[in-house]
């Protein structure tokens, strides 16, 4: 079964791109359509999703299974970053984590996403809560679930790629 997963590499990367674009579209709809301004944690999450999409674009164009390990490992790192920011967001929302959010975007000087694309990456509000997505599930809870599934999928892809390289 794992060997079949390596043959699904292209659809896997396309799925990551489509999921990322969908998540960014939902975030922008909440921001501009429903007037829920993003906090600094929210824009960090958007940055990790952008990183995942960029890695997936690279993964689409890498032909060999051996080289496919590089974007898989990079995407595992980005998925871990997404999970960490989502976990902090959930903690702030539930009141179990305090003082982890300011209005400063916190991007490094060499990557000022908030200046390059303020429409997407500029925080508008202090952290506190996330809006409800569907059936009482908040955006933070949905992000935690997505992050966990993504880490699982990426880990399985890494194992499949390693197995095909060693075969």
Instruction: Decide if pLDDT at 4 tops 90.
Output: no
Which structural domain, as residue segments, surrounds residue 162? 2-166
DSSP 62-115: --SHHHHHHHHHHHHHHHHHHHHHHHHHHHHHHTSS-S---SS----TT--HHH
Average pLDDT over residues 139-146: 93
> What token pair was written down for 68?
């496919």
- Average per-residue pLDDT for the chain: 86
Full-model pTM? 0.87
**pLDDT tens digit string along 47-74?**
999 999 999 999 998 876 677 888 999 9
pLDDT at 100: 62
Domain with residue 32: its CATH number is 1.20.1550.10
pLDDT at 142: 93
State how many domains the chain has. 1
**pLDDT tens digit string along 78-131?**
999 999 999 998 888 887 877 667 777 778 888 888 889 888 888 888 887 788
Measured CA to CA, the distance from residue 71 to residue 114 in angstroms comes to 25
């Amino acid at each position: 079964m794992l060997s079949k997963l390596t043959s699904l590499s292209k659809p896997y990367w396309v799925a990551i791109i489509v999921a990322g674009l969908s998540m960014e579209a939902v975030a922008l709809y909440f921001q501009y359509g429903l007037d829920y301004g993003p906090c600094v944690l929210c824009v960090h999450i958007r940055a990790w999703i952008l990183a995942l999409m960029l890695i997936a674009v690279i993964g689409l164009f890498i032909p060999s299974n051996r080289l496919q390990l590089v974007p898989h490992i990079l995407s595992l790192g980005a998925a871990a970053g997404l999970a960490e920011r989502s976990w902090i967001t959930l903690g702030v929302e539930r009141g179990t984590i305090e003082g982890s959010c300011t209005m400063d975007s916190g991007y490094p000087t060499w990557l000022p996403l908030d200046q390059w694309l303020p429409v997407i990456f500029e925080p508008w509000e202090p952290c506190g809560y996330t809006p409800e997505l569907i059936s009482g599930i908040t955006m933070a809870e949905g992000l935690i679930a997505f992050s966990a599934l993504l880490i699982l999928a990426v880990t399985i892809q890494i194992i499949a790629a390693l197995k095909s390289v060693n075969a």
